[in-house]
Structure 1
Amino acid sequence: MIDKVVELLKKSKYTIAFTGAGISVESGVPPFRGDQGIWNRYNPQLLELDYFLANPEPSWKAIREIFYDFFTDAKPNSAHVVLAKLEELGILKAVVTQNIDDLHFKAGSKEVYEFHGNSQKLKCLKCGWTVNAHEADLNLLPPACVKCGGLLKPDFIFFGEGIPPLAYQKSFEAARNTDLVLVIGSTGEVMPACQVPYEAKRKGATVVEINPGESNFTHQITDIHLKMGAGKAMELIGEQFAQ
């Protein structure tokens, strides 16, 4: 099956990847859903926009623990690295990711559409100033903008908040243009992001799913299912492009 996927990649004129939490689990980033998911330990209400605006201090306490204590030391794994290599070779045209951990960029990918934003930037809700999360003082919560004193919010999508328009546009443009989509580590449960592979399929693309288990995509749009972890699968694929 790996050989078949490599053959498809070599023939493809426009390949994209669609990635979910499963690609980053091997980097130590916990998933949100499932038995070991973050929502088993934290109340999702803490990341509802209205709740955050009304109760920034308790929200920020959870945000700091989840995203900055857990994510800060995470490094790209082999799946991220191979995707970046495929882009460098001109095979992969774009990555559409549900993840907010910045690991695709850290691995060297350039054309990344972050459907849900990025946790590594904070934005002032008053003046719009943006700062890197590691440069902000998260010891005193909630953190304040040094420009105007306004409330800083992580620059990713909270519940009740719209998808960034440019990321949405580019993601679905890529889906309409692709002839091959690698779905890696996504359960297919989160709307509207999960519609990206469906749109690709509607336009005639071949769907390769890399997931150790089954997802909502598996029996609906998947053409080839590599039942293994993202790191191992992408390593095996990458080896055939290193020769």
Structure 2
Amino acid sequence: MARSVIVTGGFGVLGNAVAAAFAARGDKVARIDFAPSAKEPLAGALDIGSVDLTDGQATGAALDEVVSAHGGIDILVNIAGGFVWETLEGGSLASWAKMQAMNLTTAATITQLALPGLKASAAGRVINIGAGAAIKAGMGMGAYAASKSGVHRLTEALAEELAGTSVTVNAILPSIIDTPTNRADMPDADFSTWVRPEAIADVILYLASDAARAVTGALVPVTRGG
């Protein structure tokens, strides 16, 4: 049976790979993004652009559009977010608030508003994107890692909150993702050790599947390249 899947940050490299993976198995996919439009089309996808996921009213309107088109919400994959490398001494305190908003508030906002639909599903799934870098933050990673650590704690707390429901809540903790932006930023790195978006999508598909029905509150490292 086709499920209703929402992928936030769905116009980006990872979001597009995840959305395409669900679409390939016949699910009904909605891509929600802050950008106005997707660079890569996805056949059959419902694309909703220009959505500020820290804005409850705008987020609620996007969810209403998904429910109207797809009949409900079964799976929410929270990929929307951002990154900054900045030392505390040489950086801006505004970056801490920006990372919190982009990485944590976006996930908390849409998840809270989607909960009624997810709980009405026979097998609701929330899958967040955390970060391996939030386990042990390196220099310049403070603001980013702090926000992603918040995603980890959101995942754990919400999994316990929803323990008596049909909904599971888990997070993926990738290492460096192999994207064009990361390659441009780190041209001398060994790209073969980086995690491909399609590999992350495979893990997300598993967590969204019935086979993972007993897995909740997990922070799953995804670190192997190739």
Is TM more than 0.5 here? no
Who wins on radius of gyration, i.e. which is larger? 1
TM-score, normalised via structure 1 length: 0.29
Q: Which has the higher contact order (CA 8 A, sep 6+)?
A: 1
Which is helix-richer, 1 or 2?
2
